[in-house]
Amino acid sequence: MRINRVKLVTEMARQDITQLKFVEMSGVSRATISGIQNGRRCSSRSAVKSMDALKVPLETLLEN
């Protein structure tokens, strides 16, 4: 599963969330969050946990 990195970074900035804060909120490892932000794929579990932390629907940040 691939999350659109531009949309993710934009949403994090909109909510004023740093990468470290995002790691703490989501319970996903820093390496995974860094990978997502750099355009790498992640497991569906990591994607769901990440989007739950941001309180946005997963579909809004998925890459087309």
Mean pLDDT, all residues of the chain: 95
pLDDT score at 64? 77
Rounded distance, CA 1 to CA 45, Å?
A: 10
Give the residue ranges of the chain where pLDDT is below 70.
none
Q: Cα–Cα distances in Å, from 13 out to 6, 16, 41, 44, 45?
A: 11, 5, 21, 23, 23
